[in-house]
A = this chain, B = another copy of it.
Amino acid sequence: MKGLTGLRTLGRDELTHLITHASRLRDQIDAGAPSGPALAGRVMTNLFFEPSTRTRLSFDLAAQRLGAHVLTFDPSTSSTLKGESLRDSVLTVAAMGTDIMVVRHHEEGVPELVSGWTGLPVINAGDGTNEHPTQALLDAVTMLRHFGRIEGLRVGIVGDIAHSRVAGSLIHSLPTLGADLHLVAPQSWLPRQTSLPATTDLDSLLGDLDVVYLLRVQAERGAEAAADYVESFRLDTTRSSRLPEHAVVMHPGPMNRGVEISDEVADGPRSLVTEQVRNGVPTRMAVLAAVSGVVT
């Protein structure tokens, strides 16, 4: 695999290979079995033009577990890089000896640009409203481990789908893996064009879902929009009680408790939120191995 700028172009076999590998690595971590240093001597560089803590540290630990060296460029706090063009900064980082570049940027397409400029394997850690592929992969790992399959799962993504890069990557992977995906949001938060079933009525869909995947309501949407959203879309105990008994709740974090999810549901038995975080490191290990062409 030459990089991972998105999931749109991956077929079912490639996706399945990544998530089953990730799941095996998760088992190894749980068993306390140290990962072999498959990436010993290689250098992974975190290039985060948008602040991040969770995703950056998850990649950091994934690389450490594989024996790689980690460099962390944080252009958001780097005055040196501010006076420089994006391309010059990227070429500098690459020339320093980077083997794999992990890129987050507030604009769509920057990981593709970085890949073109450097010729290096690039892993997209989130670009604008486009994709966040490792998040969707770890979500798929979480579903696979919980249900034993993804094929046929009825998944409802709820929230600001049009502006969510997490939703972007879920939409480009879960149907390929055989899931039955539904988009649920206020009209203005639904994508303009989609071949997927879409609805503004969460309540009518609840009884048919295996997975409710809640997106974070971004603060920049405003307090009024959030208040309206709470009324019709917040997953609280009442709504949760209408789900099938076996249904689960997922969220990419960080959660806005009280907005898209209530405390009771966030901490309740249906919540797979902690499992999602737990699968983040092995998923990123599997992706790092795949783009490096090594076997772990």
Contacts and interface: CB of A to CB of B under 8 A. Distances in A.
Contact of A71 (B57, B96, B254): B57
Contact of A274 (B34, B41, B95): B95
B52 A83 contact: no
Interface residues of A, number: 50
Interface stretch (A7-15, A73-81, A195-203): A73-81
Interface stretch (A61-69, A146-154, A164-172, A225-233): A61-69
Contacts of A79: 51
Contact of A97 (B89, B91, B256, B278): B278
Given A41-B34, A96-B280, A54 B80 contact: yes
A84 interface: yes
Nearest to A266: B88
A113 interface: no
Copies of this chain in its oligomeric complex: 3
A124 interface: no
A29 B143 CA distance: 41
A81 to B, nearest CB: 6
A106 interface: no
A249 to B, nearest CB: 14
A277 B29 contact: no
A61 B255 contact: no
A17 interface: no
A219 interface: yes
Contacts of A40: 34
Contacts of A85: 257
A43 B256 CA distance: 28
A128 B274 CA distance: 29
A281 interface: yes
Interface in A202-231: 219
B80 A71 contact: no
Contacts of A52: 80
A159 to B, nearest CB: 15
B80 A254 contact: yes
Given A71-B60, A219-B83, A92 B277 contact: yes
A53 B69 contact: no
